[in-house]
Chains A and B, each alone.
Chain A
Amino acid sequence: MKLTLKIWRQKNAQDKGGIVDYPIDGIEPDMSFLEMLDVLNEQLINKGEEPVAFDHDCREGICGMCSLFINGEAHGPDRGVTTCQLHMRMFKDGDTIFIEPFRAKAFPVIKDLVVDRSSFDRIQHAGGFISVNTSGNTIDANTIPINKHDADKSFDAAACIGCGACVATCKNSSAMLFVSAKVSQYALLPQGKVEAVDRVLNMVHQMDLEGFGNCTNTGACEVECPKGISLENIARMNREYLSASLKG
């Protein structure tokens, strides 16, 4: 396949940045999107130019490290996948592809396509945990039976990979889907109930401090989320938040 890539290049956080065109040839439909970029980078290095910086690690859709805004969509045109799982068979010979970083005030650009998502970590520091000691001197796991339905729902929420596609997709740059996924995981488990009130208040507070926007229930996040995290979680978080505020 022959393609024209229009890639955002930005030397560092201070640089203004802009789109640069890169024609590329010999791309196979079997390649992943990131392998296509590897091919481009190899060519750039051989020509003495600087390769395009982009984040990635596991390349199997689980670490949440890869990002990329492709033709105006977080993780590109395919559904239910991350950028590393996107394959070139989704594109046609001769296509022009726009490749940009995830854009949000709370995700400053580090270089080219790499953004800083540590705001997500800081939200977790504020309450994304259950306060138990890690000594192993706890009760036998089977003495906390959990209804399979709840356990599965909790798991579904816990499957969030923290990629930030929801934020990048949202016109308000809201982090509600991400935060609600963690709140839900614990809210659905008996272990998480004890500090549920503090958790939701603290996490939401930190989310606001980080500069994420508000949720206006557009639902774009759910559509672009590679892990199918459901909007139901946002509703659950709102309930938790409301009742916590009343108690608080």
Chain B
Amino acid sequence: MALDSKIPHGPISDKWTDYKDHINLVNPANKRNLDIIIVGTGLAGGSAAATLAEQGYNVKAFCFQDSPRRAHSIAAQGGINAAKNYKGDGDSVYRLFYDTVKGGDYRAREANVHRLAEVSANIIDQCVAQGVPLAREYGGLLDNRSFGGTLVSRTFYAQGQTGQQLLLGAYSAMNRQIGRGKIKMYNRHEMLDIVIVNGKARGIIARNLITGEIERHSAHAVVVGSGGYGNVFFLSTNAMGSNATAAWKIHKKGAFFANPCYTQIHPTCIPVSGDHQSKLTLMSESLRNDGRIWVPAKQEDAKAIREGKKKATDLSETERDYFLERRYPAFGNLVPRDVASRAAKERCDAGFGVNKTGEAVYLDFAAAIKRYGTEEAFVKGLDANDAALVTKLGAEIVKSKYGNLFQMYYKIVDEDPYTTPMMIYPAVHYTMGGTWVDYNLMTTIPGCFSIGESNFSDHGANRLGASALMQGLADGYFVLPYTIGDYLAPDIKMGEISTDLPEFVAAEKEVKDQIDRFINNKGTHSVDYFHKKLGKIMWDKVGMARNAKGLTEAIEEIAALREEFYKDVKVPGSANEFNQELEKATRVADFLELGELFAKDALHRNESCGGHFREEYQTEEGEALRDDENFAYVAAWEYKGKPSDAVLHKEPLVYENIKLVQRSYK
């Protein structure tokens, strides 16, 4: 099967407008005869559900949490980008487009990214109209801040809780439609398979997580907005429930999986503290606006700190190595995430790490506290030479900007970041890979769409800060509502789809068989035992830096672990009840397949780009070495029975508007 990206013809800036002008529309009276299933109610699924319901479709929305408001999007901290140029610092649709393509290391699809930049400004207008309390300046206008990888302030935010506020906005829009009966909401339901009838997606099989009942749900189209698969690493910044099941199950039924190895490692997370650790906590990247990153300049100082003989504050300015400012003078602490993460790893690997395990660097606010404090003292006409006063005033300003993050850090680490620098280390954060979709956001299964983090389309090999929220809401509020109509237009006379069709029966049986197998397995180890083992293989061999040898080993080890899992996993309780271990088992089963494809994809990509760093391919200075000649394509994998047999399809990436150049932040 050939991949058709369906990118419209014409100049980039007209593509989306022209496309909208020419697609098929569904008459409002016919929309109520069409059912749409939406799996996931994060920013992508939630905004899509609300908008499609408002347009008149019958929407059935699913999430595994007890309420749509708890989707993982709620945790996003830093902000959302939009090309509004409110600051007059030179931002524009083109510049946002350019930064995103460049930041993605030229592995994103130009047409999609341009569309994203075009609709970005509408997102802010929409959210503000819905009552999302974004940060304001004293004059009452919206405030902005800057984020890694860009030189303009285009990020809108709501303290350190931007995702929360945006999600609650989408949730409120959903609530309005639920109240009107246009959305039927299925909380605590997990999609466990897709149903395909005559080659088209026509429904899903879901498990009611409270009763354990397996249910059949039909629709004219299925939209998957199930989020990312970072939890394949076990430890990540994702919520504990985040999983790949919906995306993986559609992959097994025909949806190609694109660029699985593109994973973003976020530079500013709280380091691992012990074996008991269940997840990693992100400290928003916005902290890099004011925090300076450093390690001791001398190894012996680093050693003394690790042994508790010295403190960070004992080292003078000259005894510190501000390695980002040193290596990348133009962007300094604001280099993109992949660059910042690798630079931290490089210093720690070289013996300069500052926590017990040697895997942490400092993020220091002392300079910012002093700068803000001095400024404030001047403004208030107080004594700017009074160090204690300056520190107090400065700390207050820092608190107003990042207070909740500082509190979060304090609660976890038990150290006060106002007086001692934070310790941070990179952690798995966001997955740029996902189900392959065309310009319409449709997968290779007709009628099955994929939006938000679960698709692959807009970020390339690397994601700049504040762009995932933007993509989730763009897909859900503004893109899918057009493209799905174009697909559904011929279906208006179809009528309701029966769940008695043999395809539903067969899919349900498959799901029940898998569950019975887990419940009846008389194994000896818990699900987490296997998940942690998988995570360790992934981090050690498929993590921040990869090489052919490690990847080859990882592929074998994951396959072996999968076999062991099926033989030896123990799932207590029964199928017909609330059973959290069973939920985990079905998710980890899918991670154990995805992990292998992930490593296979990383192995075949003989280049370094963005979040994919192959040790064999780097410049003399240790920067990522891309190979545009041979790898400027999307790797889309077709499932053929097991991950090792997956077949590679290539979607060549054509850059008509942006010249491919080596990414440099020097």
Contact = CB atoms under 8 A, between A and B. Distances in A.
A166 B282 CA distance: 27
B528 A133 contact: no
A186 B122 contact: no
Contacts of B158: 155, 158
Interface string A77-109: 010110001010100000000000000000000
Contact of A30 (B127, B171, B185, B273): B273
Given A62-B161, A80-B407, A146-B136, A53 B578 contact: yes
B75 A58 contact: yes
Interface string A129-153: 1111111101111101111100110
15 contacts: A28-B276, A32-B412, A38-B276, A51-B580, A57-B239, A58-B75, A62-B164, A121-B175, A124-B175, A132-B129, A134-B477, A138-B125, A141-B128, A141-B142, A144-B129
Interface in B500-539: 524, 526, 528-529
Given A34-B278, A85-B408, A185-B133, A57 B165 contact: no
B168 interface: yes
B27 interface: no
Contacts of A129: 130-131, 172-173, 175-176
Contacts of B1: none
A130 B134 CA distance: 15
Contacts of A154: 131, 133
Interface stretch (A42-50, A167-175, A213-221, A233-241): A42-50
Contacts of B140: 145-148, 151
A85 B86 contact: no
B135 interface: yes
Interface in B82-135: 84, 86, 119, 122-131, 133-135
Contacts of A63: 65, 70, 72, 74-75, 239
A209 interface: no
Nearest to B414: A89
B386 interface: no
Interface stretch (B193-201, B253-261, B569-577, B609-617): B569-577
Contacts of B130: 129-130, 132, 134, 191
Nearest to B67: A121
B178 to A, nearest CB: 5
A30 B75 contact: no
A110 interface: yes
A61 to B, nearest CB: 7
A204 interface: no
A65 B140 CA distance: 34
A64 interface: yes
Interface in B603-655: none
A136 B179 CA distance: 21
Given A57-B240, A65-B66, A136-B119, A114 B578 contact: yes
Interface in B407-441: 407-408, 411-412, 414
Contacts of B164: 62, 159, 161
A132 B129 CA distance: 7
Interface residues of B, number: 81
B65 A65 contact: yes
B278 A32 contact: yes
A95 B652 CA distance: 62
B581 interface: yes
A64 B175 CA distance: 18
Interface string B223-240: 000000000000000011
A117 B67 CA distance: 8
Given A45-B572, A159-B164, A189-B131, A57 B241 contact: yes
Nearest to A151: B136
B141 interface: yes
Between A42, A49, A62, A78, the greatest number of chain B beta carbons within 10 A of the residue's beta carbon is seen for A62
**In the A-B complex, the 3 residue pairs with the closest CB atoms:** A145-B140, A136-B122, A129-B172
Interface string B566-607: 000010110001101100000000000000000000000000
Interface string B124-157: 1111111101111111111000000000000000
A118 B131 contact: no
A60 interface: yes
A31 interface: yes
Contacts of A126: 179
B315 interface: no
Nearest to A26: B276
Nearest to B570: A45
B54 interface: yes
A12 interface: yes
B281 interface: yes
A35 B128 contact: no
Interface of A: 11-12, 28, 30-32, 34-35, 38-39, 41-42, 45-46, 48-51, 53, 55-65, 78, 80-81, 85, 87, 89, 110-111, 114, 116-118, 120-121, 124-136, 138-142, 144-148, 151-152, 154-155, 158-159, 161-162, 185-186, 189, 191-192
A87 B572 contact: no
Given A30-B273, A147-B140, A158-B168, A57 B70 contact: yes
B80 to A, nearest CB: 12
B412 A87 contact: yes
A80 B523 CA distance: 41
Nearest to B242: A57
B70 A141 contact: no
Nearest to A85: B411
Contact of B526 (A45, A146, A148): A45
B142 A142 contact: yes
B28 interface: no
B286 to A, nearest CB: 16
B133 A57 contact: no
B450 interface: no
B581 A51 contact: yes
Nearest to A162: B69
Contacts of A85: 408, 411-412
Given A48-B572, A57-B65, A114-B578, A148 B136 contact: yes
Given A28-B274, A185-B131, A55 B66 contact: yes
Interface string B30-69: 0000000000000000010011001000000000011111
A134 B54 contact: yes
Nearest to A52: B580
A155 B131 CA distance: 10
Contacts of A155: 133, 135, 158-159, 165
A129 B176 CA distance: 6
Contacts of A87: 411-412, 414
B52 to A, nearest CB: 9
Interface string B274-311: 10111101100000000000000000000000000000
B133 A151 contact: yes
B175 A45 contact: no
A111 B161 CA distance: 31
Contact of B572 (A49, A133, A144): A49
